């Protein structure tokens, strides 16, 4: 579908076959990231790995991310720890404020501005209410992140064996050439903090909503977790890999509640897809939400059925199955996928193991509101209130 938005063109891809062209066959042609005025403010003038232009700088950032921060070896070392501690080293005293500011930024960054639709009218950039709100958010958020990073730097020697991600950043700063400077590494750390805050919490929230709404699935997932975790003091990757049904629950959860429902890309040059001409610099939006609910590929797509992923070979990369791309696919796929999934699975498994869950009196599970917030990520609009009772084996 072609949309003419002011002076800009937007191409919406809702077919897995065409998505394969964009995310696979012609990936380099559509590897540019489509941003806007708001996202430039939130993500530091697009110097972060998510919105950086497709160039040597981005390639180096992604290489560092994949090989240094989010490699399998590093993940194995972090899994016994709480995911938040892996990033912060300890609990952040301003965590509630920080999470609220991250969520505010995600909502504001998704909004369309007239300046984005009519880029030739430079004066429009001067009359933006979002711009004022976003800079106000940045002025509150940056000091919190600066304090976290600076405090950890000051304790590097004392905490040498226990400082996880920030230690790795210091190593990169000392030895990685053009990216070995303070500003860029700090931007990268902010990327990790923001990506590790809103998306995981939203994923867990949606998972609990679906489990509460589907008691059969809840009972089956809890039985598996309690059987495998029984008597264990430390949970590692080996234990998580045994949770076959929980992994299916996670896949089904991300099918129904894809956190980035419209994957934003842009064409780097004139090209052709399925016989249609795509001009250079056109915005290309891959409609992952629609493809994950297409009845051509999914039986009863509105039903929460984790068993649909049993022995079907689908993973989170989209390779070979472009009807399922919850983290994107190709060169711009989320580099933190493995890290994020492991962290969310660990938290969800612990919630299911340690507690029994039910809704407050008078609330029907079928009536739980599943309305989504506006924003880049599809978080749930209403808070979930449930009663937890401790499980005593």
- Please give the structure tokens belonging to residue 381: 């609009």
pLDDT tens-place string over residues 118-148: 877 777 777 777 788 888 888 888 888 888 7
Q: What does the buried/exposed string (b/e) look like for 124-137 if buried means 16 or more CB atoms within 10 Å of the residue's CB? A: beeebebbebbeeb
Give the per-residue pLDDT at 74: 59
- The band of 195, judged by pLDDT with boundaries at 50, 70 and 90, is low
Can you give the three-state secondary structure of 250-276, one letter per residue?
A: HHHHHHHCCCCCEEEEECCCCEEECCE
Least confident of 140-149, 272-281, 300-309, 362-371: 140-149
Q: Which residues, 6+ apart, have CB-to-CB distance to 275 below 8 Å? A: none
Give the per-residue pLDDT at 262: 77
What is the pLDDT averaged over residues 111-115? 72
Look at residues 75, 67, 54 and name the one whose alpha carbon lies nearest to residue 172.
67
pLDDT tens-place string over residues 69-109: 666 665 555 555 444 444 444 556 677 787 777 777 777 77
- The band of 180, judged by pLDDT with boundaries at 50, 70 and 90, is very low
d(CA 262, CA 393): 43
170 pLDDT exceeds 60? no
356 pLDDT exceeds 70? yes
Output the pTM of the full model.
0.82
Give the per-residue pLDDT at 159: 47
357 pLDDT exceeds 90? yes
What is the pLDDT averaged over residues 314-342? 83
Give the per-residue pLDDT at 177: 46
Classify strands 8-13 and 262-266 as parallel, antiparallel or unpaired.
unpaired
Q: CA–CA distance from 309 to each of 48, 253, 258 (Å)?
A: 33, 11, 16
Binding-site positions read 334
Question: Residue ranges per domain, the chain?
Answer: 2-390
Strands of the sheet with 2-5, listed across from one edge: 2-5, 8-13, 283-287, 262-266
- The band of 35, judged by pLDDT with boundaries at 50, 70 and 90, is confident
Give the per-residue pLDDT at 73: 61
Question: What is the DSSP code string of 38-65?
Answer: HHHHHTGGGTSTTTS-SSHHHHHHHHHI
d(CA 242, CA 297): 28
Please report which residue ranges of 8-121 form alpha helices under DSSP H: 16-20, 37-42, 56-64, 72-78, 83-88, 95-109, 114-117
- The band of 185, judged by pLDDT with boundaries at 50, 70 and 90, is low
Binding-site positions for heme read 334
Spacing of C-alpha 273 from chain mean position:
28
Least confident of 101-105, 171-175, 223-227, 256-260: 171-175
Look at residues 149, 194, 182 and name the one whose alpha carbon lies nearest to residue 50.
194
Least confident of 8-17, 174-183, 240-249, 331-340: 174-183
360 pLDDT exceeds 90? yes
363 pLDDT exceeds 70? yes
pLDDT tens-place string over residues 279-296: 888 889 899 999 999 999
Question: Are 37 and 128 a contacting pair, CB within 8 Å?
Answer: yes
List the end-to-end C-alpha distance of the chain, in Å, as a whole number: 55
Question: What is the DSSP code string of 314-344?
Answer: --SS-TT-TT--BTB-GGGS-TTHHHHHHHH
Higher per-residue pLDDT: 92 or 29? 29
Q: Which CATH class is domain 2-390?
A: mainly alpha
pLDDT tens-place string over residues 260-274: 777 788 999 999 998
Higher per-residue pLDDT: 285 or 313? 285
- The band of 169, judged by pLDDT with boundaries at 50, 70 and 90, is low
157 pLDDT exceeds 60? no
């Amino acid at each position: 579908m072609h949309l003419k938005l002011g002076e800009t063109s937007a191409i919406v891809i809702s077919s897995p076959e065409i998505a394969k062209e964009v995310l696979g066959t012609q990936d380099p042609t559509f590897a540019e990231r489509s941003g806007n005025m708001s996202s430039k403010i939130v993500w530091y003038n697009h110097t972060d790995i998510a919105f950086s232009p497709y160039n040597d700088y981005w390639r180096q950032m992604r290489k560092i991310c994949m090989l240094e921060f989010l490699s399998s070896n590093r993940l194995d070392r972090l899994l016994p720890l709480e995911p938040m501690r892996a990033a912060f080293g300890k609990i952040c005293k301003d965590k509630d404020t920080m999470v609220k500011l991250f969520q505010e930024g995600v909502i504001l960054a998704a909004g369309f501005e007239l300046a984005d639709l009519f880029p030739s009218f430079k004066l429009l950039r001067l009359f933006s209410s979002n711009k004022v709100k976003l800079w106000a958010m940045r002025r509150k958020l940056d000091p919190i992140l600066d304090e976290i990073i600076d405090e950890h730097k000051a304790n590097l020697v004392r905490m040498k064996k226990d400082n996880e991600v920030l230690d790795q950043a210091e190593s990169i700063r000392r030895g990685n050439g053009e990216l070995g400077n303070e500003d860029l590494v700090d931007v990268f750390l902010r990327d990790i903090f923001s990506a590790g805050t809103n998306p995981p919490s939203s994923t867990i929230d949606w998972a609990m909503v679906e489990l509460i709404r589907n008691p059969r699935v809840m009972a089956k997932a809890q039985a598996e977790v309690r059987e495998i975790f029984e008597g264990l003091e430390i949970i590692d990757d080996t234990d998580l890999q045994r949770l076959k049904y929980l992994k299916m629950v996670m896949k089904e959860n991300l099918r129904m509640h894809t956190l980035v429902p419209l994957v934003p890309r842009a064409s780097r040059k004139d090209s052709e897809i399925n016989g249609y001409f795509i001009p250079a610099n056109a915005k290309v939006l891959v409609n992952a939400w629609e493809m994950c609910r297409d009845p051509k590929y999914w039986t009863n797509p509105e039903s929460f059925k984790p068993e649909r992923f049993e022995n079907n070979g689908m993973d989170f990369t989209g390779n070979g199955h472009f009807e399922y791309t919850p983290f994107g696919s190709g060169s711009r796929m989320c580099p933190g996928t493995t890290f994020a999934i492991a962290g969310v699975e660990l938290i969800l498994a612990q919630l299911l193991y340690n507690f029994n869950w039910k809704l407050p009196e008078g609330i029907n599970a079928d009536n739980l509101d599943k309305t989504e917030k506006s924003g880049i990520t599809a978080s749930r609009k209403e808070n979930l209130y449930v009663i937890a009772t401790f499980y005593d084996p």
